[in-house]
Amino acid sequence: MELDFKVLAVDKQTKARNGELKLASQVIRTPVFMPVGTQGTVKTLTPQHVKETGSKIILCNAYHLCLRPGEKIVKQAGGLHKFIGWDGSIITDSGGYQVFSLAGLTKVSEKGVEFQSPVDGVRLFLTPEKMTEIQNDLGADIIMAFDECVSYPCEEDTARVAVKRTLNWAERCLISHKNKKQILFGIVQGSVFKELRIECAKNLVQMDFEGYSIGGLSVGEGRFLMNEMLDCTVDYLPEEKPRYLMGVGFPSDILDAVERGIDMFDCVIPTRNGRNGCAFTSAGKVKILNSCYKDDDKPLDEKCGCYTCRNFSRAYLRHLFQAGEILGLTLFSFHNVCFFQRMMHEARESIERGEFRDFKKDFLLKLSE
């Protein structure tokens, strides 16, 4: 499938850009935030909840779904969209990050990755060809090439070997990609070494992927180094194709990356923080278990019009968390995803006006108050 992506506006003072990504039955405006539904569900939220937050695309993880319930079961059910009851768009991560996070249980070679399943302990072997086949069977709209993500810090030689392997695997993914209705992205690796990032980006562009992801960041390197890697990578990626920063992040991280020309983001932050009673609001974070909220009849965020803020007080929300009621997790997760989607909407509008830098400064200033 040929990718249909257009850059509609570029900010006057930064590289921030406003775009339009057409996928199957819908148009997605970028920059876009994609809630994470690792196991085929955004935790504590129904697909209808997710739709009501304004989300049009979610991320699921092919690695986890191939372990349980298995990609063949999903394919037999009519594909991932039908299986999970989501009529929006879906992107799947191929599992390179999961291999990194299970470092003690994995053995990486040029052929692929041998690992012990965290589900049942069985030894399994995944290759780029197999991970591409799994994603083809799942049927997401956008899929990822299999890559090797290294830990931070690491030696430059270790990162160089991983880049070489990532490029080799990317080529094999392209060759084995059978479902041409799906869009395949390559992933730039290289840890915090500029030359390796640039080398990886240049080689992936020569392979002519339909979009490009930037992986291996937000793994402990910090905000300064992450932005430095984005600065040195973005200029080597095609302007006419979408750029996706994987697994990032907090509002400040996302807006830093938007400023540098990134179009797509996913992260567990809004839902994970929500399940732990931490809400993002226009006046800063609210940690609902703090005693100051026990008789607070104000909404979570007085400037938010989401279902949670229209209907419930901070006192009631605190009661839900103290009582261990699942509804509290749902209401907080719903609000946080709404907050992130509103942030992205306002970012897109500011880019259209050519005022992204001012928007970012004001937004983050209020968030830290």
- Per-residue pLDDT of 246-284, as tens digits, reads 999 999 999 999 999 999 999 999 999 999 999 999 999
- The answer to whether 176 and 146 have CB atoms below 8 angstroms apart is no
Least confident of 118-127, 218-227, 234-243, 358-367: 118-127
Q: pLDDT tens for residues 85-142? A: 999 999 999 987 776 676 666 788 999 998 888 888 888 899 999 999 999 999 999 9
pTM comes to 0.97
3-state secondary structure of 165: helix
C-alpha distance from residue 262 to each of 168, 249, 254 (Å): 25, 13, 9
- The answer to whether 335 and 285 have CB atoms below 8 angstroms apart is no
| Catalytic (active-site) positions | 93, 266
Mean pLDDT of 299-318: 98
Q: Domains in the chain, start-ordered, CATH in brackets? A: 4-267 (3.20.20.105), 269-369 (no CATH)
Q: What pLDDT sits at residue 104?
A: 64
Mean pLDDT of 326-340: 98
Burial label, 228 (beta-carbon count in 10 A; 0-12, 13-18, 19+): middle
Among 80, 87, 74, CA closest to 47: 87
- The answer to whether 138 and 62 have CB atoms below 8 angstroms apart is yes
Q: What pLDDT sits at residue 366?
A: 86
In the predicted structure, residue 305 carries a pLDDT above the cut 80: yes
Q: What pLDDT sits at residue 369?
A: 59
Q: How far apart are CA 190 and CA 212, in angstroms?
A: 14
In the predicted structure, residue 319 carries a pLDDT above the cut 90: yes
Q: What pLDDT sits at residue 1?
A: 65
Among 19, 113, 13, 12, CA closest to 63: 113
Among 17, 16, 354, CA closest to 8: 17
Task: Please count the CA atoms within 13 angstroms of the CA of 49 that sit on its side-chain side.
Answer: 21
Among 302, 93, 354, CA closest to 213: 93
